[in-house]
Amino acid sequence: MNTLEAVARILKIEGVEWVACFPSNALIEAVAKEGIRPIMFRQERGALMAADGYSRMNDRKRFGVVITQGGPGGENSMGGIAQAFADNIPILYLPGGVTLGQYSVRPNFSPARTYTTVAKCSEVILSAGEVGAVMLLPAGVLLSAMALYSLRETATGLRSVL
């Protein structure tokens, strides 16, 4: 099982029925294969507002999930994430990212560093083995986290995750 499949499986186990998304992100296909309905939006903010509304309608017992592309998708999502954080609304945000070799290289945008002020948890997943530790938070913790990852094919055909 690769990282995308692991994330999708955890979402399914947690009862996620749909995800708001803005292409392009390989995780969208993985969640669809798990039977989670992807709903595409024209912009990142719209996807975040839908997830925010879903969390509000369900009294925070169920949470909205958003998947977007990395780079500009992560930057354009800042307003929606900050609003949900200010209102104490749980949203799981899963943006794409860059390869490990490009991480922390300017001008690449780093959502993990940027979102630390507007998220309860902001993590970078560096290997498939870290998925469970990042996504399975202890009981009683309000899920307003985001896991950041990037899937890229390496020259050997293996997958590297960020």
| SS3 of residue 59 by DSSP | coil
pLDDT, average across residues 123-145: 58
The pTM of the whole model exceeds 0.85 = no
Per-residue pLDDT band at 136 (split at 50, 70, 90)? low
The DSSP 8-state label assigned to residue 65 in this structure reads: E
Structure token pair of residue 126: 């560096």
CB of 92 closer than 8 Å to CB of 64: yes
Average pLDDT, the chain: 78
Between 7-11, 85-89, 141-145, the lowest mean confidence (pLDDT) is in 141-145
Higher local confidence (pLDDT), 62 or 145: 62
Q: Residue 25: what are its φ and ψ, rounded to 5°?
A: -155, 125
Q: Phi, psi (5° rounding) for residue 40?
A: -80, 140
Does the domain at residues 3-161 carry the CATH identifier 3.40.50.970? yes
User: In a 10 Å sphere around its CB, with 0-12 CB exposed, 13-18 middle and 19+ buried, how is residue 71 labelled?
Assistant: middle
pLDDT of residue 123: 77
Strand partners of residue 153: 159
Q: What percent of the chain has pLDDT over 90?
A: 38
**Domain definitions of the chain by residue range:** 3-161
Q: For residues 112 and 162, which has the higher predicted lDDT (pLDDT)? A: 112
Q: What is the pLDDT of residues 36-94, one digit of tens each?
A: 999 999 999 999 999 999 999 998 788 999 999 888 888 899 899 999 999 999 999 99
pLDDT for res 104: 67
Tell me how far CA of residue 103 lies from CA of 15, 77, 142, 149, in angstroms: 32, 19, 28, 11
First CA to last CA distance, the chain: 16
Can you give the pLDDT at residue 97?
73
User: H helices within 34-124, ranges in order?
Assistant: 44-57, 72-76, 78-86, 111-114
| Integer angstrom CA distances of residue 115 from 10, 21, 108, 144 | 23, 19, 15, 11
pLDDT top residue among 27 and 102: 27
Which is higher by pLDDT, 3 or 53? 53
Amino acid symbol at 50: A
